[in-house]
Structure 1
Amino acid sequence: MNQETAEPAAAEPACRFPHFTVLLSSTPRGARLARLLADAQLRSWGIPSDAARHIVGELAANAVTHGRVPGRDFRLTLYVVDGTLRIEVTDTRCERLPQLQQPAPGAESGRGLLLVDALADRWGVREDRFPRKTVWAELRCAPPEPAPTGPGPDGSFSQGT
């Protein structure tokens, strides 16, 4: 059973933020659907989705591959607070927490968290109430402040980006 919410999470204007959550089957189809739904939601919010789509794909694939418990779903949650997109994937297997590690040379898998680490500004794992864990990643949505274009301490000028 899939459930989704695409409404602001709070009723007060000061606490409103874009929020999306969906419960998906722990199957390869569910992982693919997570990526497609995240992409559509981010586009509707006007947020660039390339890096986020890859992160969602990797975290959902890990939930299906390593966090799967037959008959239990995984949850994808997206929300934006203060210009930061937070991606969370929650599954129902917490005895093995994901760790960043180098795959063996020639291995056909094992690079997902390396990709998440390269694309995300921050990421981590949170143990929830047994038997759940949430793997999360954050991406800055707002462009960084431009660099100053005035003379530097040595009198030379720098270019703003």
Structure 2
Amino acid sequence: MNANRRMSSPEWIHPFTARPAGVSELRRLTSLYLDLWGLSGMGDAAQLCVSELVTNVINHVGEGAPAVLSVRVSDAHLRISIRDAESQLMPRPLGATPTSETGRGLALVAAVAERWGVTAAMHGKTTWCEIAASCTEQVGGAAGPLLSKVDTRPLSSAQTLHGWLAGGRPLHLVAQEEVAVGLIAEVLRWLQAQGHDPDTVLGYAHMRLEGVCGTVG
């Protein structure tokens, strides 16, 4: 990569409907994206934060509420955020005791993340947290600028995806599509960083797909 060209920040944005049955799928997709980015060492902390932030929406905004999950890598942090349409109820830790069955969510997020908060808007709010790069030390990684650790090689990402799916972790149809779109976006991001035009590459890819499908048909 050209030293004068700054690496773009990987980001995964995923609209979803807040339902208990969907929490595990969001955790798995988050883990997959971190694997694709070469940041699997942050997987446990990230999955916990996703679980608790999504569950917070279910409990306090309502089951079935539309929301958007964003996972973004910056220079020193992994930022996880959930945007929902409720602007009146601001989440806060409830001071749960060790025997409490509920109320631990944001306390767990606060314990894992370096910082967290809520950003209010006219038509909703965003609850977010940032996990420091130093959390990779817990699994043998080295602390330092997180963005520089991102693996931008599309071949490596494809191999990771193949191994992830081959390891007995099947995805639902919608999740398969989400993973495919995410992988394509990662490849295009890598090509753009090398100076290629993503639209041109997509055009060539579509022409090749039509040729293959025509041959098969």
Q: How far apart are 1:51 and its partner, in Å?
A: 0.6
Q: Which amino acid aligns with 1:96?
A: L
Q: Is the 8 A contact 2:19 2:63 kept in 1?
A: no
Q: Which amino acid aligns with 1:144?
A: A
Q: Which has the higher contact order (CA 8 A, sep 6+)?
A: 2
State the alpha-carbon separation in 2 of the partners of residues 110 and 18 from structure 1: 32
Q: CA RMSD for the aligned pairs? A: 1.9
State the alpha-carbon separation in 2 of the partners of residues 111 and 29 from structure 1: 20
Provide, for residues 83-124 of structure 1, a one-character-per-residue CA deviation record: whole Å limited to 9, x for no partner.
311000111212110112312563311001110000001100
State the alpha-carbon separation in 2 of the partners of residues 90 and 69 from structure 1: 15
The question of 1:101 aligning with 2:94 is answered yes
Q: 1:125 to 1:17 in 2, by over 3 A?
A: same
Q: Which amino acid aligns with 1:33?
A: E
Q: Is the 8 A contact 1:19 1:78 kept in 2?
A: yes
Structural mapping, 1:5-16, within 5 Å: 13-14=5-6, 16=8
**Partner SS for 1:14:** coil
**Aligned with 2:48 (options 44, 54, 72):** 54
The question of 1:127 aligning with 2:120 is answered yes
TM score, norm. by length of structure 1: 0.73
Q: 1:40 to 1:106 in 2, by over 3 A?
A: same
**Aligned with 1:21 (options 8, 13, 17):** 13
State the alpha-carbon separation in 2 of the partners of residues 30 and 65 from structure 1: 14
User: Which residue of structure 2 lines up, in the alignment, with residue 138 of structure 1?
Assistant: 130
State the alpha-carbon separation in 1 of the partners of residues 31 and 82 from structure 2: 15
**Aligned with 1:115 (options 108, 114, 124):** 108
Q: Which has the higher strand share?
A: 1
User: Which residue of structure 2 lines up, in the alignment, with residue 79 of structure 1?
Assistant: 72
Gaps of 5+ in 2: 135-141, 145-217
Q: Is the 8 A contact 1:31 1:64 kept in 2?
A: no
Q: How far apart are 1:15 and its partner, in Å?
A: 6.5
**Aligned with 1:88 (options 81, 85, 88):** 81
Q: How far apart are 1:69 and its partner, in Å?
A: 6.6
Identical aligned pairs, as a percentage? 32
* Number of equivalent positions: 131
Q: 1:103 to 1:39 in 2, by over 3 A?
A: same
Q: Is the 8 A contact 1:68 1:93 kept in 2?
A: no
State the alpha-carbon separation in 2 of the partners of residues 88 and 103 from structure 1: 23
Q: How far apart are 1:14 and its partner, in Å?
A: 3.1
Q: Which has the higher helix share?
A: 2
State the alpha-carbon separation in 2 of the partners of residues 46 and 15 from structure 1: 14
Runs of 4+ more than 6 Å apart? none
Q: Which amino acid aligns with 1:83?
A: A
**Partner SS for 1:118:** helix
